[in-house]
Every structure is written in structure tokens, then in C-alpha cells.
Structure 1
Amino acid sequence: MDTKKKVILDVDTGSDDAIAIMLAVLSGKLDVVGITVTQGNKPLPNCVENTLRVLDLMGVGDKIPVCPGCPAPMVRTLTPGRYANNPENQVQAHNKKGEPIDLHPAYLPAPPAHSKPQNMHACTFLVETIKQSKEKITIIPVGPATNVGMAFRMDPTIADNVEEVVFMGGSVDKGNITPVGEANFVHDPEAVKIIIDSGVKCRIIGLNATHSAEFYREDADAYLAIGNAAGKLAHDLMYNRIEVGEALGWTQDGGDALHDALAVASVIDPTVITDLRQEPCDMDINGGAGDGQLIVDHRGGQDPNANTFVAYKADKKKFFQMIYDALKNQK
């Protein structure tokens, strides 16, 4: 009997998405029934191409359906002046040679994809696949949650066949792209709110947890030493993140977080999260200085009736060993 947990990844493939996809596929612990793609780190066509590049690199480009989805947030860009109230940090910098470098390259350093995306739209794929599945499916959105939020709008009954939604997104009392907002949640807060308000179980793997398990150059070097294409890609993407972080002054010691991969790791082994609290959550969608902020209600402590679980800390050693063990499986 196949006991693998059925999952759908929802990605905006840049650097940490790529490592999340490799972890999900190569771990051997998950049944990845499909990957849906949205915009976020880059425009939708780039994110689709990067997703296919990663799958082709692992030799599974023709085995896992990839469905392009929404090219823009649900409604966020429709309000004139909304961005003016909430200026975002930049993720582009210049290296020591003066060359432009980007946290998420337009195209990942992997061979161009030879596999093709599906003709089915991501939202249709989500609705049909979830409704038709004999087992409940876990959704892992590691980019803006537009596709998933839209699918819940299209057919709210899909929540009945969703095991849980495990977000990479949000933060508590800290932000990365705004003072209080994490990028994925800021870029489509309405979509997140729709999912949270649906009552489906949600685990929120945010910046508090991801930055509690940061990587350094020696961690990336260990992956390069594996000696295969997956290890090299992970190494190269991690070094790029370090270089951008140092250039922008985000870090003085080379540390950075593999945000999206931690969400996947928490589905494979929930014990990788060492501090998970059941707390009521909401989203700020009002367009002011807190636009896109995850609002966590701490007033009553943990709430056994809340459908949202917020991660605060992770086990770095276990996390990076999980990635190492998965990358070794790439032939």
C-alpha cells in the first residue's frame, strides 16, 4: 500500500522554490501529483520555465504535470496608490565586480527545459484534482497564494478534500519586503485570507521559523560535494542568495534562509518544526502600512479551535540533513 502523502506544490519558481521542488520530488516521501505555477519571484512565463528546468534536471519532467496559473494577484494591483502606502524592499543588487545580481535569476542556472507545461489552467487543475482524489490532498503554496485562493473561490467545497494547506509565507512581528509583511503574503493577501477563512487546516511556515534555521557557505559546500547536478544547483542558488544578501546589507555573516524548502520539509516530517502554535490568524488587506501583514492573535494563548498553526522555530540540523539525503537520490 502506498502511504506517501499526496501533495500539490504551488510555486513561483526562483531560488528557494527550486530547492523545495527537489526536496519534494527526491525525498521519496511525497506523492507529488502536480505542480501549479503563479507569478511572484518573476513573471509567470519565467516561473513556468524554471519549474520545468528543475524537473527535467531530475529526470521527471514528463512525469509530474506542471500547470501555469494566474499571471497577477487576485485584486491587489487594481487599487491606485496601494503600493505607495507600502513600499517594498528591492531584491536586486550588484556584486563586487559591479555586475547586476538578482535574488531570483530570471532563468535558473540549469539547461533549458525540454518538457512542456499542461494546457490545463492551474486553478482548474487544483479544483478537478482535489475533487476527484480518493485521498485528501495537501497543498503547499510557496509563492503568492493566488492560484489556491482562486480555486477556493471557484469551488469552496474542495476544502472538504484538502488535508491541509501548508504555506510558506507570513511572519510575526517582522517582515522582509515591508516592515511587517513577508513577500508571498504581501503579494496576494486576499488569496491568503480566502484560504484561512475557509476553515481548512492551515500551517503557516513563516520568516520566524525559516530564519531560525539559516544556511551558510559550508552548508552549500556540503551539497556541492555530493557530486551530482541537483547538489550543484542547490549550491549555486544558495551562494547567489548569500551574495545578494551581503550586497544589500541583509547579512554580515553570510547567513540566509531556504524559506520554501522548509515548508516542504515540514510536510515530510512535521518534527522539523520545533515550535508550532495553534493561534487564530487573519490578514491585513486594507492597503495601509500593514497591507499584507499576517495578524496573529496572541491574547488568549493557544486556541484549540483555531484552524491556523503558526511556526516559530525549526531544527536546522534535521532540515539540512533532509535536503542532503534527498539531493543524493538524484542520479
Structure 2
Amino acid sequence: MAKQKMIIDCDTGVDDAQAIMMAVSRPEIDVIAITCVNGNVDIDNVCKNTLRVLKICDSLHIPIFKGSARSIVHYDEDASHVHGKDGLGDVPDALDVNLNCIQEEHAVNALTRLSKMHEGEVKLVALAPLTNLGLALRMDPDFSRRLKGLVIMGGNMQGKGNRSTSIASEFNFGSDPEAAYIVLHEMKCPITIVPLELCLSQVFPWEKMVECLDLNTRKSTFLQDITKASVKRQKADREPGFCSCDAQAMAVAIDSSIVLKSVDIFATVELNGNLTRGMLVADWRDKLKKSPNVTIVEKTDPNKSLSIWKSMFY
């Protein structure tokens, strides 16, 4: 069978790193590019972190493209308090990566070009603020028609946010609400959303986490180092297992059969509310009388998800 071509758009922090490692470890997936965007940390650290991850995976043949350094309407916010100032847990960087490996072509141009080169074949996985995608749609309105599908980690259905500056929005949507709005309203390919609530409920058991981190392989040692602070914080919060939002989205992108429950619905993004700006708004009662534009994943198979996640350690 032909491999599934995939482009990953990310702001490489700890969970993005896991998602990338999951994708490149799967023989059925062909990651043809990684596009970087400002988000968890600044764009330069995102690019460097992506190089570090690909080097660990012996996958430096995958081209990396530097994208937008700020959101469409700029806000000074990042997630360094979660991922570390460098985005990968602030552990000593023993990997010698060459930033000259970053492609000269801008990520937005690469997205539109690759969609033409591989029309109808590419699954785009968005793990970050959607700035690059929003700009690609503005530059080339037909960009999304050429994609096979889009999987997004982002949005929240219950109004419980995880941003330091908002009580109601999820980080990726809240960091660039305009871009999220453009994507939901203008993307013409199938859109699957893996929301914050699913990621928080679908955690990896601590005993499985320890089992994988103790494999004493190059990958497991790297993951043990970069997740150390995250594990400590989540255990202090008495979480029932390890939460990795981007890993959950990537599992759905790799194998859609893990989805046990989903809903097709019309959804938009709040742009104007003082307290709700950036919040995903789903029309649960069909008040707007609009056709569904997204599929929101509500439940996944925990055993299949765990199996896909574990594959990155080997």
C-alpha cells in the first residue's frame, strides 16, 4: 500500500516532539515536510527544536520550513511556563544541530506548493496556532481543496481554557483566533478537531510511561529528559496519567479507527468577547442552520491510542 503523505505544522514543544516522533516512526506514514510557527516558544526555538527531534529520529532528510513569527493580530503570549524557555524542558542540549538545514522557502509558500505537487494526497496535521494555515488560505484560496484532510489539535467545547491570559480559550485557538476563524470557515477539505477536553481525559497510564522511558534507547532517553518537568508538574497536580495533547491528535491522524465517538457539526471561533475571545463555539442546537464544517472527536480507543504512542520509543 502507498504510504500516507503527511505535513506537520507545529510549534515544537514537548508534546509536539512526541507527535513528530510518532509520525516518523510509522512505516505507513511519509512525512514530506514540517512547517514551523510561533506558539509554545519563539519561531527560532521552534525550528531548532524540530531539528533536534528529527536528528534523534535519524530523519533529517525531512525538510523543515520556518513560518510565521507572530499571530495575525499579535499577542505576547507563549507556553514556556509549560514547555520550558527553550520549549523542550530546558535540559542541556547535547545535540549539535545546524540551523542552516532550515529551508529558505517560507512555510506558507511551501504549504501551497506541496499541496499542488501532491494534490489530493496530503494529510495536514496542525498542532499549533493556525497562523500558517490562515495565511496560506489568504494567499491561495484553493490551497485547502488540494488537501486530503486536516487534523487539528485545538479548541475546547466546554469553555474551560488553558491559557494564562484567558479563562475560556484553548492555547492554539486563543493564540491566533483570526487564523482559527479563517481555517474553520474557509477550509474546503475534511476537518477533524481533537479538542482540549478529549486530550485531558485520554491520558497515558503512569506505569506505561515509566516502562517506555526506561527502555534505555536513544529515543527513550531523549524523551525522558525533555518530559521530566512535565511529568513532575502533572504528578503534582495528581493527574491520573501523562497528558500529551499533540500525541493524541497525531494518533487520530495516523489511525482514524481509534475514534469511537465523534460529531459532525458547524463550529466557529469567537473573535470579540472580552472573556471568550478564541473559544471554539459549536452550534449544538443548530441555531445557525448551517451545514457541518468540522468533525469533533469526543472519544477514542485508549488501547489503540497507547499502542500508537508507544511506537515512537523504538
User: What TM-score, normalized by structure 1, do the two folds share?
Assistant: 0.85
| C-alpha distance in 1 between matches for 2:302 and 2:70 | 34
Q: After superposition, what is the alpha-carbon deviation per residue over 1:99-138, rounded to whole angstroms, capped at 9, x for unaligned?
A: x966944656651324611111000000111012144311
C-alpha spacing 1:320/1:238, structure 2 compared with 1 (3 Å) = farther
Please state how far the C-alpha of 1:276 moved relative to its aligned partner: 1.2
Please state how far the C-alpha of 1:314 moved relative to its aligned partner: 2.3
1:113 corresponds to which of 97, 103, 106? 97
Q: Which deviates further from its counterpart, 212-221 or 279-288?
A: 212-221
Equivalent residue number for residue 203 of structure 2: 214
Where 2:303 maps in the other structure, the secondary structure is helix
Equivalent residue number for residue 73 of structure 1: 71
User: What TM-score, normalized by structure 2, do the two folds share?
Assistant: 0.89
Equivalent residue number for residue 51 of structure 1: 50
Equivalent residue number for residue 96 of structure 1: none
Please state how far the C-alpha of 1:163 moved relative to its aligned partner: 1.4
| C-alpha distance in 2 between matches for 1:182 and 1:104 | 18
Report matched runs for 1:22-37 at 5 Å. Answer: 22-37=21-36
Please state how far the C-alpha of 1:184 moved relative to its aligned partner: 0.6
Q: After superposition, what is the alpha-carbon deviation per residue over 1:6-52, rounded to whole angstroms, capped at 9, x for unaligned?
A: 11100100000000000010112211110000111100000000000
C-alpha spacing 1:239/1:317, structure 2 compared with 1 (3 Å) = farther
C-alpha spacing 1:106/1:46, structure 2 compared with 1 (3 Å) = farther
Q: For this pair of structures, how many residues does the alignment match? A: 307
Please state how far the C-alpha of 1:246 moved relative to its aligned partner: 4.9
Structure 1 residue identity aligned to 2:172: N
Mark the runs of 5 or more structure 2 residues left unpaired by the alignment: none
Where 1:185 maps in the other structure, the secondary structure is helix
Please state how far the C-alpha of 1:280 moved relative to its aligned partner: 0.7
Where 1:3 maps in the other structure, the secondary structure is coil
1:208–1:311 Cα contact (<8 Å) kept: no
1:149 corresponds to which of 134, 141, 154? 134
Report matched runs for 1:95-106 at 5 Å. Answer: 104-105=87-88
Mark the runs of 5 or more structure 1 residues left unpaired by the alignment: 78-82, 94-99
2:233 corresponds to which of 244, 259, 262? 244
Please state how far the C-alpha of 1:207 moved relative to its aligned partner: 1.1
Equivalent residue number for residue 219 of structure 2: 230
Where 1:72 maps in the other structure, the secondary structure is coil
Equivalent residue number for residue 164 of structure 1: 149
C-alpha spacing 1:130/1:109, structure 2 compared with 1 (3 Å) = farther
Matched, 1:298 2:259: no
| C-alpha distance in 2 between matches for 1:237 and 1:318 | 24
| C-alpha distance in 1 between matches for 2:128 and 2:156 | 14
1:34–1:66 Cα contact (<8 Å) kept: yes
CA RMSD between the two structures: 2.5
| C-alpha distance in 2 between matches for 1:150 and 1:252 | 40
Equivalent residue number for residue 174 of structure 2: 186
Please state how far the C-alpha of 1:318 moved relative to its aligned partner: 1.6
C-alpha spacing 1:91/1:46, structure 2 compared with 1 (3 Å) = closer
Please state how far the C-alpha of 1:304 moved relative to its aligned partner: 10
Equivalent residue number for residue 265 of structure 2: 279
C-alpha spacing 1:223/1:106, structure 2 compared with 1 (3 Å) = closer
